[in-house]
Structure formats: structure tokens, C-alpha cells
Amino acid sequence: MQRIGVFVCWCGSNIAGTVDVEAVSEALKREPGVVFSTNYQYMCSQAGQDIIKDAIKEHRLTGIVVCSCSPRMHEATFRKTAAAAGLNPYMVEIANIREQCSWVHKEMPIGTEKAIILGKAAVAKVNLNTPLTPGESPVTKRALVIGGGIAGIQTALDIADAGFEVDIVEKKPTIGGKMAQLDKTFPTLDCAACILTPKMVDVAQHEKIRIFSYSEVSEVKGFVGNFDVTIKKNARYVKEDLCTGCGLCTEKCPMKKCANEFNLGMDTRRAIYIPFAQAVPKVATIDPDNCNMLKNGKCGVCAKVCTAGAIDYTQKDEYIEEKYGAIVVATGFNPISMDKFDEFAYNQSKDVITSLEFERLTNAAGPTAGKLLRPSDGKHPETIVFVQCVGSRCDACAEKGKEYCSKICCMYTAKHAMLTRDKYPDTDVYVFYIDVRTPGKNFDEFYRRAVEEYGVHYIKGMVGKVSPEGDKLIVQASDLLADKQLKIEADLVVLAAAIEPDKSARSLATMLTASMDTNDFFTEAHPKLRPVESPTAGVFLSGACQGPKDIPETVSQAGAAAAKVIGLLAKDKLVGNPCVAHSNEMMCNGCSSCERVCPYGAITYEAKEFRMPDRTTLVRRIAVVNPAVCQGCGCCTVVCPSGAMDLKGFANEQIMAEVDAICK
Amino acid sequence: MQVKEYKPLIVAFCCNWCSYAGADLAGNNRLNYPADVKIIRVPCSCRVNPMFILRAFQRGADGVILCGCHPGDCHYTSGNYYTRRRMALLFSMLDYLGIERERTRVEWVSAAEGAKFAATMNDFAEKVAALGENKRLEDLRCKK
Amino acid sequence: MSSNKKNLQEELIRISGVNPRKCMRCGKCSGTCPAYDEMEYHPHQFVYMVETGDIEPLLESESLYKCLICFACVERCPRGVEPAKLVEAVRLAAIRKQGNNRLTANDIPALLDEDMPQQAIVSAFRKYTK
């Protein structure tokens, strides 16, 4: 039997004005388990807290009820008071007789009656409270960053600079991501390579950072502070430690006609290749689909020319197991496929290109060495039409486009248009837009500069149709402001394709039990207040995997994610919330209902041996809640058909007792 | 014999993060609602087991209202969606058993909606009071 | 754009001193215009048509003379485009199409009249010598 103390607070006249505090403490004295009951002017004051402490000691109280303001206000205070007097802090319950009683009711008898009932409910609950101790778990002081674009690079650098080890897993042969493919960056027009490649070198040279390029995450187990991750290192048929990146093999390889994915297939590379000159790690990779030696065992030129002896045709995929305390997802984005947009003739004409292809066409390291030439005939285009919102803000047809705004297209299109007019003032540049969205520092000024100084023709209206005619593209569009249809003879049409999360994100989310929205963007733990954390403890989000983002925003989010990771790794152990779910193994029938509703992936199943009365053993599948991951929502307790699952601190019994006390 | 004035007994389950805070805000703003409403704090609306609601009716409650975060705003990301579906089922079963629809309700009240909390409680209490005492599920053995 | 159109456009921009590219099509000029209902081309369309070089219809339109030159649009334009000045410039262009109607300083004394107010002389001079 509990020995409960009841402390009724007057809160000056806030409570005592409408509630007869004396009557409340008298009434509650007669409740089962209550051995002491008193009232005082300000329970939260030092003197009030001393009354509680003294009573705990004097009356050997095992639980206390404070009838006062909202628990959201002073629950923590009174828990500390109880702990200071040697009582488990979770043996404290608050009856909210201020916000939910004295402040909303005006008459003394009504207020007093309700306060007594609320007090009784709290007493009934405390009678069933058990002392709770928060669980502790150790922290592996290393972080994993999945994705080596600017988001992953920045996160890794920030974590490593704080002194923690970081591994980057990148599925491409080099880190750098989309930013490495860009030419200039808005709104300052810095050259992307000039600001990115030094960071890539920093990553390569950082003693705390390891890069697993051409690799993917294949399995994730464990939980916050203690993840076990299996990394699959794909065979690149080149020994990374021996290859010097001299590039001789990439010049001698006879397989010349392989589409160069770094230039989006606009030129070719060899079967053994280094994606670009500043690649990190600067190691060659053999493309097994195109290599003659790997396909039919004939050739071997690269092995002959390699003075370092780095080529290894027998290399196999390798699986590496590592432990991490935190995981950062930075899987980034891709432009959507233009195959379904027949109206823009993307598949019919080489001169209809996406904006990312345009980036490569204007990049000095691109297929045309930075000269803006038409892909079809290599001529200089005189009229260029840019089309915005291709596939963005398009919710009519889910398999075609995306319902969201891709956010970056307005700005990069303004950049493309401006740079084209700057380099080639004789070109006519049209931009067709639905809205121009430029919220950002110096963004609108940038766009206005494209219009006012560079004379780019911005036309409100969407392009309806592009039809190739001879070597021209007839662009049929509406000019909504002039209320007429336009037909423009263009030489090049550039489509601002919507962006979507990388395809690998969905399977990764499943491995991490991290949640995603319907568009496959990772969901944040709270859209406003926890934007870089996933709801799954220990998993953090960086960059466009969480939603469309430009570079400055990505870098700031990457830094924020790093700060959260550092905050986690700096701890020696994690102290959890003790009000978590737990399963009664004798009652659990292993049905998996709880596992399916848990938003945090806190519930796993294990086979456990039970000794039976007849001395045989029985192996049964039972649910196990990881207290370090469980956040205590209690959803699992309701789905459990056998009633095995319960929530500490808000147990079925306790809430039932409250219901009974109120309904008596 | 003295006729006692009829006062409905209403149990309100409020999630800790939105609705309980909304109820606190109603208090802060001194927005009145009937004292017949007694609030029980739960971590999330999805913590409310249908058993709790049945128990309340069994013990003589005249109405039960469940308040949670707005859809999409759940502190635990998806709890209130489960609540919505579970309660749709439970309430239709209760309806079948003869517990009028007006005696049960699910309402989304955010931490900023003190006024909505008070208005909801006023409205709910009025509707329940109009229905009179709930005798359908009440367990007479529990009567004093 | 044909070179004729282009010349006309450049001329209008020179006469008026307005940069139509500054316009971001908010429509505030038309929103504020007291003669809006009388016009077939409204102030914002004026600016847009000059920007795109579509000036011929403006020269022939009635609305050119419906503008009161009250300068409300100039006052309220958030980008400082000054549509009324553009309207005035198009009026001038229309007048000039009708023949030789330019003034030089030497022509003026002969045209003067004792009763003519000084202000009218100055404004005529301002208008016809651009």
C-alpha cells in the first residue's frame, strides 16, 4: 500500500479564490492511501517545497499528489523536490486545479467539487505509480554520412572538425554530387567547382574522415548511439590504394563509345574512367557493362599500361561492417525524367535539353568546353527558350510530374538566361514562367537584373507545345499578359525539370525505419522546430533528401545536422525518457501488430526460450521494446490484442483508475 | 423527495502536446466552460484505448470526448491518424449499442486554440446535457 | 522584332526616359487609374506593349487620349516605371507621324501672342522639342 501525501496549493488567490483549498485537502485526506494532506499559499516557493520535503521524510511518503497549476508548468519542479527528499521523481502526480479548474469556473462550490474530483483522480493514479528509472545506453562516437554531395561533405567536415570520426558512403565513384556538375552558382555567380573542389580536397585529407566511394549502405541494425551498418563496397576492378589517378588507362582503353554519365550522356568516355579531373578519390573505375575484358575476357589494355599495377579484374564486391552512433542521410535529388512530356519534344530533338544538361553545356569542363553550342549540329543558338515548372506544381498526373514547387528552378533559369545574354549578347532569350519565385537573400534583385540589365524576355504563360521543324524548334506558348498566343522559332529549348529525391532514398528509409512523405522526401521530426532530425532517434537529415533546396540552404542545413550529431556524440551515454512502452513477455503472442504502428521502429522481435512447468523448453517469438528509441506515445499499447504492451507512467491500470475516480 | 439538478458527467482525454496545452491556454485566458468536463492527460490521443471509453460509460459518464493534435501535427508524427480510425470504428459500434453519436466526439485542438477548446467543451456539454443521462451502458453494480 | 519597330521602341524610351523593363507586372498603375474604364489599353498594357515593341496598336488607339496625365500611376508605381510618361511619349510619336511639327527655338517668337500665358509657352516648348 502506498503512503501518499497531498499538497494543495492556493497559488495566492488564483486557486484559493474559486476553490476552497481547506475543503479539498480535507476531502482528499479520506482517499485510500493518503496519510497526509495539507495546503499552502505557494507550493512552488522554497517554503512550499520544504513542506513537501519535510512531509516526505516525516510521514515516510511513497507518493505525492500536488494540486496546483498545470503539470506543464511545475511538474519538473515538484519532481526535483521529491528527488531531493529521496523519493523517486516519477512518484509525483499533479492535479491541475488552476488552468483547468479555478481559472475557468467562477463559483466556489463548483470549483471546489471539481478540484476534489481532479485530486481524487491523481490520488488514484499515484496509488498505481511505480518508481521509474531512465534507461541508459552507451554511444559509439562515430558518425556515418550517406551521400557525398555538398550536403554530405559539409556535414562530414563539420562533424570531423569537432573531433569525431566520420565515414562518407557515396554510390558514385567520386564525391561532389550535383554541385560538381554545375557551372556557376546563383546569386553571386561563383564558379561551382572553385568553391566545391577545395572542400572535396579537405574531406580527402581530413584525418577523421574516410570515404567509401562506389559503395552503398546495405543493412542497418541497432538504434541511436549504437547502429551496426553494413557497407557494400562495389567492385571497381581497380585497387584504390595503388591507383595514382594518373589517367593513362583512361586514355588507352579501346572502348571509346561509353555514354558519359557525368556529362549526362552528351559525350563519351572510356570503359575505364575517372568522372572528372578533380574527382575525390582520384581513382579509376571500370564500368563492367562496357569493359571487354570483364565481358568476354579479351583486352586487358589498362592492366598493361598501369605502372602501379592497380588493375584487378578479379575484384569482388566487399561487405564492411561498421559501428556508428549517428547516421546522417544526405542522398540528394535528381531531375525527373522528361520521357512523359511529349509536348516538349524532349525525346524527338537533341536541341531540347534539361537545365542540368544546359549546365554541362556551359561548363568549361563540359562536352563543349564551355561554348554554348547546339547538341544537334554544334551551331551557336540564336534564340533560346527556357521553360519553367516542367513537371513541378503538376498534381493532375502523378506519374508525369510532382505536385510541389521544386524551388531552385526560378533562380537557376534566371542565372542561365543572364549568363547566356552576358556571354552572347546577340542571342534572344525567352523565359516562360507561371510565377517567378525568388525568396532569398539577393534573389529577387538577381532576377530583376536578368530582366532589366540583360534584357531577358520574361513572359507569363506556359509553353504548350514544342515542334521540331527543320533545324528549328517551333515553340507555341501563351502570353497571358498580352492575351495572345506566341509562336517562337527557337534554336534551343531548355526545360527546368522538377527535382525528385534520389531513387535510393526509399530503400534506405526502410532500412533506417525513417519516415518519408508521399513524394519520398524524408520527413523531419518537427517541421518547424526539429527540421534536421528524422523522427527516428539518431538519424539526421541534410540537404535535398528532405525537400528541394538550393546550395546556401543545403549548407546551412548540413551544418545544423552536424551540430545535432555532435551534440549526440559528445554524450558518453544516453539517458532516455522512462515513460516508455514495455511488453509483458508472458502475455505477448508475437503478432507484430505493435511493430507495424510504431513510428520509431522501437519494437523488434526475438525468439526467447521459456521453461515450461513440465521442464521442457518452449521457444516463443516476443516483442521487445528498445527504451532508447521508444518515445512513449503509447500507440502500440492500444493495438496489442493480448494486452501485453503497456506504457510506463501512463499504464492502462492507471488511466482506468483515473476514469473510475472521475466517474464515481 | 428532493429532485437533484441534472449535471452531465463528461470525461475528456487530452494529448499532452496539443490539446492539454490548449486546455491550459483556455484557463490562462479565463475562458469558461462547464465544470462537468474532467480532463485526463495522455501522452498522445493514440494512447486512448477504446477500453477507457467503454469503462467511462460503464461507470456512468454521459459523454466522452477525445482531443488530439491536428492531423499532420502529431508530436509522434502519426498517432492521431490511428486515433481517428479507431474512434470512427468504436463510435459506430457504440452507436449500434444505443449510445447516441452526440455522446462521443473526437476533436483536434492545437496548443494555440484555447478558444476552440472552450467552445468545443461548451458545445459538447450542451449536446450531452440535452440527451440526458446515459443509462445504456451504465453498470448498475457500480452505483452507490 | 523588325528594325522599324525597334527604332520606334528606342525612340519612345528615349523621349520618355522610362525603362519599361523595370516593370514587374503588378498592375498597380491600372489599379489606380481614374480613366481605366474608358481605355482599351490600360496603363500596365501600355508598358508591356512598349516593352515587347507592339506599339502600332497603341498609336492608333483611342485610349492614348483618354489618359488624364494625372500621374497617379507614376506616384504609385513600386518600381518607378512612370507609365504616364510613356503614354505622353506615345502621344508625341502619334503627333509626329502627322507631319512636320517640330519646333526650333527660332520659330517661337513668330508664334507668340501677347495674351498667351508664359506657362503654356514653356510647356509647348518642352513638348515639341524632344
Please tell me the distance from the alpha carbon of residue A40 to that of residue A52, in angstroms, as a whole number.
10
pLDDT of residue B41: 96
End-to-end CA distance of chain A: 21
Q: Mark out the alpha helices in A522-580 (DSSP H runs).
A: 551-569
Question: Do A99 and B26 lie within an 8 Å CB cutoff?
Answer: yes
Is the pLDDT assigned to residue A116 strictly greater than 90? yes
Q: How far is CA A661 from CA A491, A646, A654, in A?
A: 80, 21, 11
- CA A639 to chain C, closest CA, distance in angstroms equals 55
Please tell me the distance from the alpha carbon of residue A33 to that of residue A35, in angstroms, as a whole number.
6
pLDDT of residue B1: 46
Question: Do A638 and B82 lie within an 8 Å CB cutoff?
Answer: yes
DSSP A73-117: HHHHHHHHHHHHTT--GGGEEEEE-IIIIITT---HHHHHHHHHH
DSSP A464-483: EEEEEETTEEEEEEEETTTT
* Phi, psi torsion values for A56, nearest 5 degrees: -60, -45
Q: Per mean pLDDT, which range of A324-338, A425-439, A618-632 is the poorest?
A: A618-632
Nearest CA among A163, A143, A145 for reference residue A326: A143
Cis peptide before A281 (omega within 30 of 0): yes
| CA dihedral (A546, A547, A551, A552) positive or negative | negative
Q: How far is CA A251 from CA A256, A269, B27, in A?
A: 9, 9, 77
Mean pLDDT computed over A408-431: 96
Please state the length of chain B. 144
The architecture in CATH of the region C3-99 reads: Orthogonal Bundle (1.10)
Chain C contact partners (≥3 CB pairs within 8 A)? A
For A615-649, the pLDDT digits (tens) are 899 899 999 998 888 989 999 999 999 999 999 99
Is the pLDDT assigned to residue C5 strictly greater than 90? no
Q: How large a percentage of chain A has pLDDT more than 90?
A: 87
Domains of chain A: 4-126 (3.40.50), 135-172+212-232+318-332+502-569 (3.50.50.60), 235-316 (3.30.70), 335-499 (3.50.50.60), 581-648 (3.30.70.3270)
Helices H / strands E in chain B, number of each = 4, 4
pLDDT of residue A641: 93
Please tell me the distance from the alpha carbon of residue A12 to that of residue A44, in angstroms, as a whole number.
11
For A498-544, the pLDDT digits (tens) are 999 999 999 999 888 788 888 999 988 888 888 999 888 899 999 99
For B104-140, the pLDDT digits (tens) are 999 999 988 999 999 999 999 999 999 988 888 877 7
Which residue in A105, A530, A577, A638 has the most chain B C-beta atoms within 10 A of its own C-beta, making it the best mutation to test that interface? A638
Please tell me the distance from the alpha carbon of residue A562 to that of residue A540, in angstroms, as a whole number.
9
Mean pLDDT computed over A302-314: 94
Nearest CA among A102, A127, A130, A88 for reference residue A20: A102
Please tell me the distance from the alpha carbon of residue A657 to that of residue B14, in angstroms, as a whole number.
16
Mean pLDDT computed over C72-87: 90
Sorting pLDDT into bands at 50, 70 and 90, what band is A437? very high
| A322 within 8 A of A231, measured Cβ to Cβ | yes
| A95 within 8 A of A121, measured Cβ to Cβ | yes
B92 secondary structure, DSSP code: H
Question: Do A481 and C48 lie within an 8 Å CB cutoff?
Answer: yes
- Domain locations along chain C: 3-99, 104-130
ipTM of the complex: 0.94
Q: How far is CA A185 from CA A195, A452, A456, A552, in A?
A: 10, 20, 18, 10
Domain B10-142 is found in CATH 1.10.3470: no
Q: How far is CA A49 from CA A74, A102, A591, in A?
A: 11, 22, 47
* pTM for this predicted structure: 0.77
Instruction: Give residues 628 to 657 of A whose Cβ lies within 8 Å of B.
Output: 631-635, 637-639, 647, 650, 652, 655-656
**Any bridge partners for residue A93, and if so which?**
A65
A330 secondary structure, DSSP code: -
Nearest CA in chain A to C46: A482
pLDDT of residue C102: 67
- CA B53 to chain A, closest CA, distance in angstroms equals 9
The residue type at A51 = I
pLDDT of residue A603: 93
Nearest CA among A129, A638, A8, C98 for reference residue B48: A638
Nearest CA among C79, C83, C90, C80 for reference residue C35: C83
Residues 6+ apart with CB under 8 A from A509: A515, A516, A520, A522
Would you tell me the crossing angle of helices A652-663 and B50-58 to the nearest 10 degrees?
A: 30
Nearest CA among A427, A378, A450 for reference residue A184: A450
Mean pLDDT computed over C81-110: 82
Nearest CA in chain A to C18: A452
pLDDT of residue B75: 83
* Phi, psi torsion values for C36, nearest 5 degrees: -50, -50
Question: Do B40 and A99 lie within an 8 Å CB cutoff?
Answer: no
Q: Which of A99, A639, A659 sits opposite B28 (nearest CB)?
A: A99
Mean pLDDT computed over A326-336: 97
Cell, residue B23: 486546455
Indicate the burial class of A563 (C-beta count within 10 angstroms; 0-12, 13-18, 19 or more).
Answer: middle
- Domain locations along chain B: 10-142
